[in-house]
Amino acid sequence: MRALTWQGKKDVRVETVDDPAIVNPRDIIIKVTSTAICGSDLHLYDGMIPTMQAGDVLGHEFMGEVVETGRGVTDLRKGQRVVVPFVIACGACYHCSKLQYSACDNSNPADEADISETLYGHQMSGLFGYSHMTGGYAGGQAEYVRVPFADVGPIVVPDELEDDDVLFLSDILPTGWMAAENCEIEEGDTVAVWGCGPVGLFAIQSALLMGAARVIAIDHYPRRLQLAAGLGAQTLDYTTANVLEALLDMTGGIGPDAVIDAVGMESHGFSIDNVYDRAKQALMLETDRPHVLREALMACRKGGRVSVPGVYGGLIDKFPIGALMQKGLTIRTGQTHVQRYLPKLLDMIREKRIDTTFLISHRMALEDAAEGYRIFSDEQNDTTKVVLKPGWERAQ
Amino acid sequence: MTRRPMYGQARSGSVAPLALGLLAVAAGVVGAVVLSRRGDGLRHGFEDAPRRSQRRPQSGSARVVGRSVTIAKPREEVYRAWREFTRFPDFMENVASVVSLDDTRSRWSVEGPGGSTIEFVSRIVDDVPGERIAWTAEEGTSVPNAGRITFRDAPGDRGTVVDLTMSYDPPGGAVGAMVAKMFQREPSIQARRDLKRFKQLMETGEVATARTHPVSEDER
Ligand SMILES: NC(=O)c1ccc[n+]([C@@H]2O[C@H](COP(=O)([O-])OP(=O)(O)OC[C@H]3O[C@@H](n4cnc5c(N)ncnc54)[C@H](O)[C@@H]3O)[C@@H](O)[C@H]2O)c1
Ligand SMILES: [Zn+2]
Ligand SMILES: [Zn+2]
């Protein structure tokens, strides 16, 4: 089959690799009909995530048709259309029983799990197409994927919904939803969201649906800020405004009640601390650039909530622990517990209460995936979300 | 029983299952440490940390490795699964086969590097259903070793706390060199991985793997 493989920093290629087969009883194989490139994939593309190996198949946002089922799978049949969560979870361990799917004890293979155990103190769940630290599972930017624990993750979608309507159930829609849920929004709340990429945009939409009185969106790409405004957010361009001052002024001197870092470890910009972080990163003294996290902690009102869907992988420096402790802030974060939100979000899509397609800027053939990565990385203003179609003819 | 194609790991050159424990050099010391009541040696000072987690080098010549894991299944069920030694190859990376000889004795075949195989007979020396099992290799084997596993109810209905302890002597001399070569992996890491796979098998019915193909005949 054809699949998008990681070869090194800024080097991804569509190559021919072996078709996957059923390995364990609870596996299914799906034929991918749509798959997307995620901001998280850019961290891989930029070589920011350790434990990648040349040839790894990327992609964790995908859906398709069930073409084979293991003997332990009873609730799925060949021919059904499913969306697959990027988090692989067993459904049986303590964490799964608490609906903390991304903390699943059993989905990260024992040999690979050592790495996250060493880095984080505990192993995390397996993820599709996201380095060996998260299991080394082949991803979904491919024609076929082996999906383990298929009785727990994949959700069957009705025929009347198009792929584009439901594809983002695999990651960014529940991620934006959980980011807003972690803000514990109360009546009258102002929520500030850093980053108007797909995650930030869905977080904005979710926060408004959960009753936030106001959402303030922060980014520097006009096109992305425009999408945020279209959802009903007020906007801030951090290249022209002093973000901390502006947020105080816009909230009557209080600060936002909740803040969301939807940027993560690769913050842009030339603020003093970000330049310092770039230097340290280059010298390998620090792995992540936490400019946004620092700013969000400083901006948040006393006793407020800090939600961090943005991905961090290792160590940061100059963390404003004083602001966190003295202001009595609460931080909630994590890889999304996707499975937890699927039935509810699918219902909301059916009822047309959530719009999932407004952010798609490009649809292209899987064969053109390398170009998709390039524009999503380098032309972010115009490229808000790239959806790849394995069935399509290549354009160039 | 011969090896079943259980889970997938590429097996190229990888050695060591519950391993180090399985291959030790001094049966006597090994057995004594593992079989002591606390499972992992004496209490030291005012603390409950297991001996294997001490920072100071462990006293005596025997080394103790092991790990604790909580499995979301009832104690009896977990005990019964472990008591069936013939199933060890399902989750222990380089135990090729375990054949039952009688109620308490079994013949173990462990894979070494370059296709070599080490065999020994293991005898159960303590067995309290639902609580603990201890075993030791019979004397005369080139690879003495011993192990002990205990089962306790986890608090709050979280299943069973399984505590595995194995003991071996830091190897020296010619045998030591051979053994050292076999353990390309830190024995405590191997014990941890084997125990994790046991938990996976108990809780999910399978061993997680990122393979995209079943293990083929020649990989076995
Ligand atoms: N927690 C999860 O499970 C999960 C799931 C998916 C994605 N993510 C993470 O969420 C983050 C965002 O994902 P995405 O797909 O939206 O990525 P993206 O790269 O498309 O968007 C990031 C946005 O942040 C903006 N930005 C950069 N620096 C900024 C700054 N200093 N201030 C304000 N905005 C700034 C960029 O201009 C860009 O628009 C990534 O870190 C991604 O890994 C997390
Ligand atoms: Zn994603
Ligand atoms: Zn689980």
Q: Write down the H helix ranges in chain B.
A: 27-35, 75-83, 173-182, 187-204
The dihedrals phi and psi of B211, each to the nearest 5 degrees, come to -55, 150
Instruction: Give the best residue of B211, B215, B216 to mutate against chain A (max A CB count within 10 A).
Output: B211
> Does residue B83 sit within a domain?
yes
Strand partners for B71: B160
Find the mean pLDDT for residues A249-271: 93
Q: What is the mean pLDDT of chain B?
A: 73
Chain A, chain B: beta-carbon pairs less than 8 Å apart: 84
Q: Is B137 part of a structural domain of the chain?
A: yes
Query: In A, which residues are within 8 Å of B9 by CB distance?
Result: 109, 111
- Predicted confidence (pLDDT) at residue A341 exceeds the cutoff of 80: yes
pLDDT of A118 above 50: yes
Read off the pLDDT band of A284 (50, 70, 90): confident
CATH of A173-333, one of 3.30.830.10, 3.40.190.10, 3.40.50.720, 3.20.20.140: 3.40.50.720
Per the domain annotation, does B189 fall within a domain?
Answer: yes
C-beta atoms surrounding A359 within 10 Å: 20
- Indicate the SS3 state at residue A372: helix
Pairwise pLDDT comparison (A329 vs A120), residue with the higher score: A329
Q: Does residue A171 line the site of ligand 1, with CB under 6 A?
A: yes
Quote the pLDDT of residue A172. 98
From the candidates B77, B160, B196, which should be mutated to test the interface with A, based on the most A CB atoms within 10 A?
Answer: B196
Query: Does residue A131 sit at the B interface (CB-CB below 8 Å)?
Result: no
Instruction: Give pLDDT < 70 ranges for chain B.
Output: 1-47, 51-64, 112-115, 142-143, 168-187, 217-220
Q: Six-digit token pair at B100? A: 């039952």
- Which of A28, A94, A112, A131 to probe the B interface (max B CBs under 10 A)? A94
Residues within 5 Å of ion ligand 3 by Cβ? A 89-90, 93, 96, 104, 106
Look at the block and give the residue holding tokens 């024995």: B187
Q: Is the distance from the beta carbon of residue A219 to the nearest atom of ligand 1 less than 6 Å?
A: yes
Which of A91, A109, A138 faces B212 most closely, judged by CB atoms?
A: A138
User: CA-CA distance, A258 to A296, in Å (whole number)?
Assistant: 9
- Output the pLDDT for position A291: 93
pLDDT score of A313 more than 80: yes
Higher pLDDT, residue A332 or A317: A332
Strands A214-219, A234-237: pairing is parallel
Q: Three-state DSSP class for A10?
A: coil
Of residues A348 and B96, the one with the higher pLDDT is A348
Protein residue with its CA nearest to atom 8 in ligand 1: A310
Higher pLDDT: B19 or A98? It is A98
Long-range contacts of A238-246 (CB under 8 A, 24+ apart): A238/A269, A239/A269, A243/A218, A243/A295, A243/A299, A244/A295, A244/A298, A244/A299
Average pLDDT in chain A: 95
DSSP secondary structure, A178-222, as one string: HHHHTT---TT-EEEEE--SHHHHHHHHHHHHTT-SEEEEEES-H
User: Given an 8 Å threshold on Cβ–Cβ distance, is B208 in contact with A106?
Assistant: yes
Structure confidence at residue B51 (pLDDT): 66
- B168 found inside a domain: yes
Q: Does domain A2-171+337-389 have CATH number 3.90.180.10?
A: yes
Query: Domain for residue B54, yes or no?
Result: no
* Three-class SS state of B196: helix
Residue from A199, A219, A333 whose mutation best tests the ligand 1 pocket (most atoms within 8 A of CB): A199
Please tell me the distance in Å from B135's CA to the nearest CA on chain A: 25
Q: Which ligand is nearest to the CA of A168?
A: 2
**CATH number of the domain enclosing B164:** 3.30.530.20
Q: Is the separation of the CB atoms in A175 and A199 below 8 Å?
A: yes
Within an 8 Å CB–CB cutoff, is residue B5 touching chain A? no
So what's the pLDDT on residue A268? 84
Predicted local distance difference test score (pLDDT) of residue B139: 82
Predicted confidence at residue B27, as pLDDT, reads 40
Whether residue B39 lies inside any domain: the answer is yes
Give residue A12's identity as a one-letter amino acid code. V
When divided into structural domains, chain B yields a total of: 1
Q: Is the CB of A64 under 6 A from ligand 1?
A: no
Q: Are A25 and B206 in contact (CB under 8 A)?
A: yes
Q: Which two tokens stand for residue A331?
A: 């931080």
With beta carbons less than 8 A apart as the criterion, state whether A336 and A102 touch: yes
Residue B72 lies in a domain: yes
| Percentage, residues of chain A above pLDDT 70 | 100
Report the distance separating Cα A235 and Cα A228, nearest Å.
7
The answer to ipTM > 0.90 is: yes
Q: Could you tell me the residue ranges of all domains in chain A?
A: 2-171+337-389, 173-333
Burial class (CB in 10 A: 0-12, 13-18, 19+), A285: exposed
Q: What average pLDDT does the segment A166-190 reach?
A: 98
CB A151 within 8 A of CB A80: no
Neighbours of B182 (CB within 10 A): 23
The confidence score (pLDDT) of residue B11 equals 33
B211 interfacial to chain A (CB closer than 8 Å): yes
Of B72, B189, B208, the CB nearest to A108: B208
Give the mean model confidence (pLDDT) for residues A243-247. 97
The arithmetic mean of pLDDT across residues A138-163, rounded, is 97
> In degrees, to the nearest 5, what angle opens at C-alpha B21 toward C-alphas B18 and B22?
80
pLDDT of residue A171 exceeding 70, the answer is yes
Q: What is the pLDDT of residues A192-214, one digit of tens each?
A: 999 999 999 999 999 999 999 99
Can you count the helices (H) and strands (E) in chain B? 4, 7
Domain residue limits at B139: 28-47+62-204
Category of A245 on φ-ψ map: left (φ > 0), alpha (ψ -120 to 50) or beta? alpha
Which residue, judged by its Cα, is nearest atom 3 of ligand 1?
A: A335
> Counting ligands in written order, which one lies closest to the CA of residue A333?
1
Q: Considering only CA atoms, which residue is closest to atom 21 of ligand 1? A: A197
